Amino acid sequence: MVSDRADIESMMITLLQRDARMSLTDLSERLGVTRVTASKVLRSLLEKGRIRRFTVITDMDEGDMVLLRTRDPESVPDSCVVERLDLLGEESLVLIRPECLRELSGQGHLAIEYVKKRYVYSFSPVRGVKCDYCGKFIDGKPIEVEFMGRTLYACCTNCERDLRRRVEGVEVR
Ligand SMILES: [Zn+2]
């Protein structure tokens, strides 16, 4: 059972190290928190630069892939399937290669759409955190500086001192 925010953050980083494509639902279950909390933690890790989001874009000419809405996904040959989503209820969405359109047999195919682009997201932990003063990557445990509800990181006590001076200067003005 993880309790405080820092524990949840480091647990999430560990989980993402094992599987960068773990879903929010899986993350929240493993952490024992709600999906809303998990998504807040994920966003804050992204903002702090402790994890990065990778977008894999498959740029395709029009008609390179086809999205099929069907009640009979099993009838689509495995070799044609790029991705399949079973929806609540009876229907499925199946991303297929267009050359397979001719091979579609079976009943219950409801609609097809031509796909232009496909985006695949995954999250991956960044090795270390960046020092908010000098910008260097920090190996090991960073020194944390709290500022207006945000956590900033310093690589060493010199940077910590200068960072505090800088943020406190901002606060005063
Ligand atoms: Zn530094």
pLDDT of res. 170: 64
End-to-end CA distance of the chain: give it in Å, rounded.
42
What pTM value is reported for the model?
A: 0.48
pLDDT of res. 127: 65
Distance 128 CA to ligand 1 centre (A): 13
Distance 156 CA to ligand 1 centre (A): 6
d(CA 137, CA 134): 9
Residues with CB under 5 A from ligand 1 (ion): 131, 133-134, 155, 159
pLDDT of res. 173: 43
Domain ranges within the chain, ordered by starting residue:
1-54, 61-115, 127-173
| pLDDT beneath 70: ranges in the chain | 1-3, 56-63, 127-128, 170-173
pLDDT of res. 101: 83
pLDDT digits (tens, 9 = 90+) for 80-93: 888 899 999 999 99
Distance 145 CA to ligand 1 centre (A): 12
pLDDT of res. 56: 67
d(CA 70, CA 130): 48
Which pair of structure tokens corresponds to residue 158? Answer: 């010199």
- Specify the CATH architecture of the domain 1-54: Orthogonal Bundle (1.10)
